[in-house]
Chain A
């Protein structure tokens, strides 16, 4: 009950900060676009006319491919832009509740410090999950009803987006507890987010570097840090029902998230306020 109350309060806080409303508004806009911009005429199970934003789409494409394509664009857009915006919108949630006068009151209550931190973390993840599934779920329903193509991979991409956010927010929670600065933890998380494609290309970078140390360092960073580029690719492949060669990037990224959350929890448990 107490954990749920903290999650609920985090929801209310994001509502009060208007970030939730902005997020929700944007999601609604995208859903409305799909609702009104995509027009299809189906004759005998095959499309006789497809238009998007009023323009007729080339009939050479198969309907399934078109739907997968649209859903991929939404999923990848949401993966990059959505995660980026979500991190920004929720960056101050942990440092704000660690402020003196606020955290003292919570600690004085009969609940463990782990519950307090977990409640806040889960609250932030719940806000993002709500918005992501609102956008993905509704656009999936609209597209599926209009085209008859029920692509469950698109729904799974929503899970992947929330998971990626949860992994990166674990890092923000760790930095928030350690440094207690929202902007600083945001900067570090963004750096890791944008560093990921570079690390994926580390073999090309090796050639430019002298000495093995840098090679080892880049290897270590690649294996240790969350692999957001690969997670993005897996998200797209889930939508397109492509063969996902390896789930290892997901597993190692999840491990990183768990490690960050564990470390944040340990530090929070021993910190003076």
Chain B
């Protein structure tokens, strides 16, 4: 079963002048960390808002946890951390979690038990009785995350969750998200921090101008097919000669060599030749690029391709 399904979801603003989402079709599987990537104004936040009933689609349909998005009933199993969220500043951290937990339909007795655990989870256990107006941006972000988890949701929508958080905090949040995923929760992440997304996501979708450009696993996106990085203890001249002999493209990069092969057989043939001539191989690894490189490549390619 898909946890999130959209079918030709379209959202126009200003009577069609702004096309925030255009025929957007997507499925997200249960128990995955799914990330949305895209340049500013790509439609990432709009998609989350449509799914949560905060904005209404112009056309198309969507379901979350098997329920149509027009039914707020499914929201009791959803947690949401909004971008630039605002809590009532006159409340303490405990009161914020109690209030939003109650709004999510959690029983007060259960909330009283859960709130200290939530605060501990986001490292705010000593701040429960402090009014949140005194909180820093990073602390507010942690509060937002705790609030999103107050109803122990099956599906978590996080819009820029690490915004304003220091590197140590970001790692803690990454670990927390992985832990939630391992407990069977689905996390729908919206972030422009590509390195964060790369480290934590199982699947990624790239949007631009409200359209889905690419969707796949992070592994698929960062792997470059039929390219391998070779590291030799010595014998680079030999490698160059062999590649020239076998007509294999070879590029030098940071002390390593990147060789492009037609298939695995050709790679093994090259290795055999190297070993025959006593070359000392230290490593052969499939070439990978960063998610950022891939993202820029996809976004720019589509830009060029666009009429």
Contacts and interface: CB of A to CB of B under 8 A. Distances in A.
A208 interface: no
Of B56, B88, B157, the most chain A CB neighbours within 10 A belong to: B88
A111 B72 CA distance: 6
Interface residues of A, number: 25
B38 to A, nearest CB: 19
A9 B55 CA distance: 24
Contact of A108 (B13, B78, B90, B105): B78
B-side interface size class? 20 to 34
Interface in B125-170: 147, 157
Interface in B55-97: 55-56, 72-76, 78, 80, 82-91
Given A105-B85, A272-B54, A5 B78 contact: no
A90 to B, nearest CB: 16
A3 to B, nearest CB: 10
Interface string A2-38: 1001000100110110000000000000000000000
A105 B75 contact: no
B103 A109 contact: yes
Contact of A5 (B53, B102, B157): B102
Contacts of B13: 272
A105 B102 contact: no
Contacts of B55: 272-273
B88 A108 contact: no
A104 B88 contact: no
B104 interface: yes
B29 to A, nearest CB: 22
B100 interface: yes
B91 A12 contact: yes
Nearest to A100: B84
Interface string A71-108: 00000000000000000000000000001111111111
A1 interface: yes
B294 interface: no
B84 A101 contact: yes
Nearest to B80: A108
B90 A107 contact: no
Contacts, number: 83
Nearest to A109: B103
B99 A108 contact: no
B53 A107 contact: yes
A110 interface: yes
A270 interface: yes
Contacts of B78: 108
B49 interface: yes
B82 A101 contact: yes
A110 B73 contact: yes
A104 B102 contact: no
Contacts of A16: 88-90
Contacts of A15: 90
B230 interface: no
Nearest to B98: A5
A104 B82 contact: yes
Contact of A101 (B86, B90, B103, B104): B86
B75 A110 contact: yes
B88 A5 contact: no
Contacts of B80: 104-105, 108
25 contacts: A1-B102, A2-B105, A12-B88, A12-B91, A15-B90, A16-B89, A99-B86, A100-B84, A102-B85, A104-B80, A104-B85, A105-B80, A105-B87, A108-B75, A108-B78, A109-B72, A109-B100, A109-B103, A109-B104, A110-B103, A110-B104, A111-B75, A272-B49, A272-B56, A273-B54
Interface of B: 13, 49, 52-56, 72-76, 78, 80, 82-91, 99-100, 102-105, 147, 157
Given A2-B105, A104-B49, A108-B53, 19 more contacts: A5-B103, A9-B99, A13-B88, A101-B86, A102-B87, A102-B88, A103-B54, A104-B85, A105-B100, A107-B52, A108-B78, A108-B157, A109-B72, A109-B104, A110-B74, A111-B103, A112-B72, A272-B55, A273-B55
